[in-house]
Chain A
Amino acid sequence: MATLNGSAQPRIDTRVRIGSARLKNPLVAASGCYNRGAEFARVVDPAAYGAIVLKSITAQPRLGNAMPRVAPTPAGMLNAIGLQGPGIEYFLTHEAPALASAPTAIIASVAGFSVAEFAAVAARMDGLPNVVAIELDVSCPNVDREGECFAADPDSTAAVVAAVKERVSLPVIAKLTPNVADIKPIALAAQSAGADAVSLINAVRGMAVDVTAARPVLANVSGGLSGPAIRPIAVNAVWEAAKVLRIPIIGMGGIETGRDALEFLMAGATAVAIGTANFRDPLVPLRVLRDIEKEAERRKLSTVAALTGLAHPSFATKTGTR
């Protein structure tokens, strides 16, 4: 891709690989924050993203949690949407056909409440138009029963990944929760079970109290914290996972600028996802990509992929992927 002709600027190769999927750039719209991009298309071309991750789909339709289910917090927001969605049947008949005209590559996201459910829903996502990978939301922090968070336990994580891998041919991404003491064994379990990549991190469990009404702000009491407030937690999770993984990491959590994205890339992420920042600035993917490219150029790198792990001792070569 890098072309040098005359006085023209050298073009940086922005492509990255997530398993067998190739994204035109390392920016991904995070699950639950972008629908299929249509709402944003009025102010920005969603094709700015290398891929859009769809809202997690469950086997059954779900209404989600009671209201209020979002709350702005310092440098972030809490959400307890509770996986509202139409369920896989409706999704396949009414929404999936439109994916044929998706503005960019699509990563389908699956959430479930049993290993069998994950496998069954994921299997039906395999082969949909423009879907290049399947992300498993094994970490949604909103489901009210503690036992339902697979990503808190290495064995449960591995069981979900293995069951899905058996049923699908697309690359499988395990999306992990930061709400654990040590992310490494869980990330390793996902890798050993055949995951092609991991997404780090899902929202961080948190809550807010309305002191006027003297009750929790969210009807669900707790929710997932996203936005800049969680960025240091997320960067550390990527850093820790990068110590033990050989599969690519999609880093996310509070990315608003190119500099933020570079933190994740240099800590070991191959791609980065942007969620909440789209709400504040729909133009965020354009800014972030431009600034990542500038940084690669400044460092005389011909690819964005070469930024991965620049700050991390596990990336011995200091250029490029492992």
Chain B
Amino acid sequence: MPAHQQSLEDATLVSREFIAPGFWHLGLRSPHIAGRAGAAQYVAVDIPGDFAVRLPLGIWTADGDTLSLLFREWGTRTERLARLPVGTTLSLLGPLGNRFTTPTSAKGATIVAGGLGIVPFWLLAKEYQRAGIALEVIVGARSKDLLVGVDTLRELGITIATCTDDGSDGTQGNVIDLLRARPKPDLIYGCGPPAMLRALCSFANERHVPCQISMEETFGCSLGTCWGCVVPVRRGCDQATGYPRAPADSRAYDLARVCIDGTVFQAADVLWQR
């Protein structure tokens, strides 16, 4: 089980950067959360205004007492967040969720990200660099303008292969095509839209490659109490512990909460159909 060490912290918005139409990069001074952030963890942001529930956003970078968020204007809360002036105080809850785990033996790994699914990988890349383990990164999106964060990741000195559905950047095709064209990876990390993750899990499971994915669902509480964010997982797997099973129950799967039992799951544990 992950260690749930988290804080409710008043963070200060220290930078606000326009990335591409609809995409933003915000820096927040949040010493307690930034200092403990791990790859694939997220913060739940209390957006000022008439919003009843916090907005979950992945932690993109974390350096010293500052963390950053990379997000798209999806709807009302992200639109509001994109318009807050530098200096605004924001209540953050975090870091929430479990983390990607890094292997103890030094075998290389492959990261597969779709669009904003790149978010958990800056922290993971840093961990790999610290451990001196090789990492290859594949990032895909529908088109070039949706490939955000790639340059920041490249600045870490990491080689990144990109692909787009329309060929406007990198190889034309999707991340799974790119993965197929390469030697079989020892370990895969994935994050992105559900269709991509599902295809990635099949790819990894068919080839018996260990694969960790960070999942997303619509969250209510972000705390594990509303049961709004569940996914079906293999019965008895680590993350299934969140949902108590009835003894007489013959179901072949359990439910896990993405917000607290995840967001990271093993590809072999996620059941896409129920």
Contacts and interface: CB of A to CB of B under 8 A. Distances in A.
Given A228-B50, A279-B53, A79 B226 contact: yes
Given A70-B229, A90-B245, A276 B53 contact: yes
A94 B244 CA distance: 8
Interface string A60-98: 110110111111111111010100101101110111000
B51 A70 contact: no
B79 to A, nearest CB: 13
A89 B246 contact: yes
A277 B222 CA distance: 13
B230 to A, nearest CB: 7
B227 A278 contact: no
Given A39-B224, A280-B53, A63 B219 contact: no
A87 B225 CA distance: 17
Interface in B221-248: 221-231, 243-248
Contacts of A153: none
A33 B51 contact: no
A229 interface: yes
Nearest to B52: A227
Nearest to A55: B227
A63 B255 contact: yes
A282 B53 CA distance: 11
A90 B244 contact: yes
A26 B220 CA distance: 25
Contact of B91 (A60, A67, A86, A281): A281
A87 B218 contact: no
A76 B52 contact: yes
Interface in B189-229: 217-229
B220 A70 contact: yes
B168 interface: no
Contacts of A227: 52-53
B220 A64 contact: no
A33 B224 CA distance: 9
Nearest to B9: A43
A95 B245 CA distance: 11
Contact of A89 (B4, B6, B248): B248
Contacts of B224: 35, 39
B244 A67 contact: no
A299 interface: no
B223 A70 contact: no
Contacts of B144: none
B225 A35 contact: yes
Given A63-B255, A276-B53, A39 B225 contact: yes
A43 B230 CA distance: 23
A90 B226 CA distance: 19
A81 B46 contact: no
B6 A43 contact: yes
Nearest to B47: A280
Nearest to A82: B227
Contacts of B119: none
Interface in A276-297: 276-283
B10 to A, nearest CB: 12
Contacts of B223: 39-40, 279, 282
A239 interface: no
A304 to B, nearest CB: 26
B217 A279 contact: no
Nearest to B251: A63
B93 A77 contact: no
B52 A280 contact: yes
Contacts of A66: 274
Contact of A71 (B91, B218, B231, B243): B218
Contacts of A222: none
B227 A81 contact: yes
Interface in A224-250: 226-229
Given A61-B246, A72-B51, A74-B76, A67 B225 contact: no
17 contacts: A40-B225, A42-B6, A61-B249, A63-B274, A64-B227, A66-B274, A75-B50, A77-B53, A94-B244, A228-B50, A276-B53, A277-B52, A278-B225, A279-B220, A279-B222, A280-B53, A283-B8
